Amino acid sequence: MGMEDMKKFGLMAACSVLALAATTSLATANDELVEMQQNAKNWVMQLGNYSATRYSELEEINKDNVGDLQVAWSFSTGVLRGHEGGPLVIDGVMYVHTPFPNKVFALDLNDNGRIIWRYEPEQDPNVIPVMCCDTVNRGVAYGDGKIILHQADTNVVALDAKTGEELWKTQNGDPSKGETGTMSPLIAGDKVLVGNSGGEFGVQGHMTAYNLETGEQEWRAYSVGPDDQILLDPENTTHLGEPVGENSSVDTWEGDQWQLGGGTVWGWVSYDPELNLVYYGSGNPGTWNPAQRPGDNRWSMTIFARDLDTGVAKWVYQMTPHDEWDYDGVNENILVDMEIDGEQRKVLFHPDRNGFAYTLDRETGELLVAAKYDPAVNWATEVVMNEDDEQYGRPQVVAEYSTAQNGVDVNSEGICPAALGTKDQQPSAYSPETGLFYIPTNHVCMDYEPFQVSYTAGQPYVGATLSMYPAPDSHGGMGNFIAWDAAAGEIVWSVEEPFSVWSGALATAGDIVFYGTLEGYLKAVDMETGEELYRFKTPSGIIGNVNTYEHDGKQYVAVLSGIGGWAGIGLAAGLTEGTDGLGAVGAYQSLSDYTQLGGQLTVFSLPSE
Amino acid sequence: MNYLMSAATGFCGAMLLFTAASLAPAQAQDEAVDWEDKPYIVEDGKVDYGTYNGFRRYHNTCHTCHGPDGMGSTFAPALVNSLKDMSYADFAATVANGRSSSGASGNSVMPAFGDNVDVMLYIDHIYAYLKARADDAVGRGRPDRIDPENDPVFQEWQANQ
């Protein structure tokens, strides 16, 4: 970006001095993590590596012996809430986090998991009820000798990885307005990238970069708002190959509604060091009542590709314009290279809440594939792939399931997927051996009735009633674990699950894929066929992500148990039974018959010979 | 309904709240014990407007912690149980002021909804719905409505708008 362009961004000009100063330390921190992520013995970031593949080259535990897996050791976190995310492992030390009050433990793997240090922040408990759907936290991040914790009250804290000493602390949002912290930060280069939660409170979503050394803010990019706030360059930022133009966000909202516009950033971030681009998605527009916010509501429900150094977006893609169903676009973006239509492409794969799995060129944002990854998905017939069509890139909404077309105070029935999405934040895995994606999914549909609501700062700003039930005319369960061919846009195999699969998957060179279930099982399945090879019931439901590491020449698999999150709230008592007319199959059972609150890390290994 | 529509668009919410807060207890007193014990009408499996609207409003704000149909969650208690022996006054005060407690699973905090018009305007309706659920007079899921013309609660509600 030249100096002329720089002048367009008031915000950026203010940051340019900082950005310049930071360049000196960029190389060290950047190179360290780029290298560390390739060491399969460690698990240095939540999604395993910058490409977010959740794939490990470890193969001691494999298809032939995984049936012998045993619990090696376990650890109670002392917190009985929804445990999302997972532990990091760096050179013999494991870092375990908890939901609110957001404790962090450093465990010594050389000394039977002895606690080296612990950290527990002081937080105002009034943040608890403004967290939508439990006090989850998706894990800490590591970089340059520091552990970065993103607290519920939005404080971002840097701890010395060796001692737990607090090095810096900065406030990322205002909980009194409903802004909270749940997402795991990503450290890329010399920056800590972190977003905000609070899409149900009318907050303005943002992604912010802090300096890893000092905690100083380097840039902040809102999802909705004026150009200088969203860091979109009208001429050079593209949407489906075309420049976005001026006021690309505010022109798609009525009046000042964008100020309550949501687009919060609470999912996962991935990073391509070669392109120097970071990728993440934005959440739902506020409110859930579409009648109160006419327009496309850009850039909610959008994948952003932003320059790491400046925050300016290279391209954006909005998956669900004018959302009518709460299909947040925050799910993981997995960066792989694959052949599509005979051509080798650098792609970004994104299985969206809205039930379509998108494959895009991550350099240009060109849309390559968009296909339903659950046959139950019915709210749209297709995403238009013809570049010459004025509907290019847009989902073709089915009137019957359009809560906007049906209108306020009308109950739209039988919409698939439910607001939970065909999947939520639970991250998928990718295996370079099979070229397939392994996706934990929900198989749930809903009735949705929007109505008028008022905004009060710090109060829920929802505006819809919904009932959820297992997908009708199917297997009666609420979830599937699937293998997906992203080039063809096809399901390769699918394992039926009684409950939504709300746990992040792990694929390994041992030709197996691991995932957890809401009843509390850790399962291992054959990568090629989906055949179950191992299961063990942990003390509580699993909404955490499965990790693996090697210590003293032995491979371990680790996962957090602790039912909660949206899964714990929506499913604890069981969902409402589908109406007879919709033909829901099977008696519906409640999750509370299977599991109770918990907070435990369970670590598995093969028996010693 | 124009009255409600305007609430959503601006800062007249505070004024509305005032109206709502002073209205609800008065209604409770007028109709004395009977309304508090049985604040709903269920006929042939269909419910009055208040109970129906309570279902909608409950699932707008309350269910994110208290679970679908008042059944509770991993996060907050089942109101189908709480309302079995909670008075209207305690219910309204808890909703307006919030509450906090601590137990084995850590701090449990309910926020104060006193300045939330989407809750306080419909506090009687939410109470009616949850009481009907607690009494097992209404099952899970969306209840069917009594024909508006034969629904005294709807007639009264409309007359007051």
pLDDT of residue A593: 81
pLDDT of residue B8: 31
Three-state SS at A72: strand
Residue of B59, B73, B100, B122 to mutate for A, most A C-beta atoms under 10 A: B73
User: How far apart are the CA of B33 and the nearest CA of chain A, in angstroms?
Assistant: 30
Structure tokens, A257: 């509604």
Is B141 touching A (CB cutoff 8 A)?
yes
Q: Which helix (H) or strand (E) holds A314?
A: strand A313-318
- Determine the average pLDDT of the residues in A341-364: 97
Residues 6+ apart with CB under 8 A from A269: A185, A186, A188, A193, A195, A207, A278, A279, A280
Is B103 touching A (CB cutoff 8 A)?
no
Q: How many helices (H) and strands (E) does chain B have?
A: 10, 5
User: How far apart are the CA of B93 and the nearest CA of chain A, in angstroms?
Assistant: 17
pLDDT of residue A565: 83
Buried b (16+ CB within 10 A) or exposed e, A260-274: bbbbbbbbbbbbbbe
pLDDT of residue A573: 52
State the DSSP code for A197: B
pLDDT of residue A27: 46
Based on the number of CB atoms within 10 Å of its own CB, is A139 exposed (0-12), middle (13-18) or buried (19 or more)? buried
Q: Which bin fits A419, alpha (ψ -120 to 50), beta or left (φ > 0)?
A: alpha
pLDDT of residue A60: 98
φ and ψ at residue B45, rounded to 5 degrees: 75, 5
> Of A184, A170, A367, which Cα lies nearest the Cα of A265?
A184
Q: Percent of chain A at pLDDT above 90? A: 85
> Of A45, A49, A65, which Cα lies nearest the Cα of A512?
A65
Residue B141 CB coordination number (10 Å): 17
pLDDT of residue A572: 56
Q: Which helix (H) or strand (E) holds A495?
A: strand A490-497
* Single-letter amino acid code for the residue at A123: Q
User: How far apart are the CA of A542 and the nearest CA of chain B, in angstroms?
Assistant: 13
pLDDT in tens, A374-430: 999 999 999 999 999 999 999 999 999 999 999 999 999 999 999 999 999 999 999
Name which of A27-36, A582-591, A598-607 the model is least confident about: A582-591
The ipTM estimated for the assembled molecules is 0.78
Name which of A25-29, A453-457, A505-509 the model is least confident about: A25-29
Task: Flag if A569 and B75 touch (Cβ within 8 Å).
Answer: yes
Contact A300, A322 (CB under 8 A): no
User: How far apart are the CA of A595 and the nearest CA of chain B, in angstroms?
Assistant: 10
Higher pLDDT, A573 or A542: A542
pLDDT of residue A142: 98
pLDDT of residue B101: 83
pLDDT of residue A29: 54
Task: Flag if A467 and B142 touch (Cβ within 8 Å).
Answer: yes
pLDDT at A588 over 70: no
Contact A118, A93 (CB under 8 A): no
Tokens 């004024």 correspond to what residue? B15
Domain B2-160: CATH superfamily is Cytochrome c-like domain (1.10.760.10)
Sheet holding B46-47, edge to edge: B42-43, B46-47, B144-145
Show me where the domains of chain A are located.
Answer: 3-605
Contact B37, B134 (CB under 8 A): no
pLDDT of residue A12: 40
Is B152 touching A (CB cutoff 8 A)?
no
- Determine the average pLDDT of the residues in A50-73: 98
Residue B103 CB coordination number (10 Å): 8
Task: Flag if A574 and B110 touch (Cβ within 8 Å).
Answer: no
Rounded Cα distance, A42 and A556, in Å: 11
Tokens 């052949």 correspond to what residue? A339
Contact A19, A469 (CB under 8 A): no
* Single-letter amino acid code for the residue at B140: R
State the DSSP code for A3: H
DSSP string, A239-255: ETTEE--TTTTGGGSST
Is B148 touching A (CB cutoff 8 A)?
no
Task: Flag if B108 and A128 touch (Cβ within 8 Å).
Answer: yes
pLDDT of residue B73: 81
The Cα angle at residue A187 between residues A182 and A192, in degrees rounded to 5 = 70
Task: Flag if B117 and A452 touch (Cβ within 8 Å).
Answer: no
Average confidence score pLDDT of chain A = 91
pLDDT of residue A570: 63
Rounded Cα distance, A302 and A596, in Å: 36
Rounded Cα distance, A53 and A574, in Å: 32
Contact map slice: B 38-67 vs A, CB within 8 A: 55-57, 59-61, 63-65, 67
* Single-letter amino acid code for the residue at B103: G
> Of A466, A428, A152, which Cα lies nearest the Cα of A326?
A466
Task: Flag if A465 and B59 touch (Cβ within 8 Å).
Answer: yes
Tokens 């505010």 correspond to what residue? A250
Catalytic positions of A, written as ranges: 326
Rounded Cα distance, A302 and A243, in Å: 15
Q: Nearest residue on chain A to B103, judged by CA atoms?
A: A80
Is A176 touching B (CB cutoff 8 A)?
no
**What value does the CA radius of gyration of chain B take, rounded to a whole number of Å?**
16
Contact A473, A465 (CB under 8 A): no
Q: Which residues of B touch A468 (CB under 8 A)?
A: 68
Average confidence score pLDDT of chain B = 81
Based on the number of CB atoms within 10 Å of its own CB, is B36 exposed (0-12), middle (13-18) or buried (19 or more)? middle
Angle between helices B13-30 and B88-97 (to 10 degrees): 170
- Determine the average pLDDT of the residues in A570-593: 51
Rounded Cα distance, A375 and A443, in Å: 10
- Determine the average pLDDT of the residues in B105-127: 91
* Single-letter amino acid code for the residue at A548: T
Residue B61 CB coordination number (10 Å): 25
Higher pLDDT, B61 or A569: B61
pLDDT at A15 over 70: no
pLDDT in tens, A202-225: 999 999 999 999 999 999 999 999
- The sign one gets for the Cα dihedral A156, A158, A161, A167 is negative
pLDDT at A587 over 70: no
pLDDT band at A567 (very low <50, low <70, confident <90, very high): confident
pLDDT in tens, B63-111: 888 988 898 887 888 999 999 999 999 999 999 999 988 777 677 889 9
pLDDT band at A30 (very low <50, low <70, confident <90, very high): low
pLDDT band at A512 (very low <50, low <70, confident <90, very high): very high
pLDDT of residue A427: 98
Residue B139 CB coordination number (10 Å): 12
Sheet strands (E) in B2-151? 42-43, 46-47, 99-103, 106-110, 144-145
pLDDT of residue B65: 87
Task: Flag if B61 and A462 touch (Cβ within 8 Å).
Answer: yes
Q: Which residues of B touch A100 (CB under 8 A)?
A: 106-107
pLDDT at B18 over 70: no
Contact A280, A303 (CB under 8 A): yes
Rounded Cα distance, A445 and A469, in Å: 6
> Of A514, A502, A526, which Cα lies nearest the Cα of A602?
A514
Rounded Cα distance, A219 and A205, in Å: 14
pLDDT in tens, A464-508: 988 888 899 999 889 999 999 998 999 999 999 999 999 999 999
- CATH class for the region spanning A3-605: mainly beta
pLDDT band at B4 (very low <50, low <70, confident <90, very high): very low
Task: Flag if B60 and A465 touch (Cβ within 8 Å).
Answer: yes
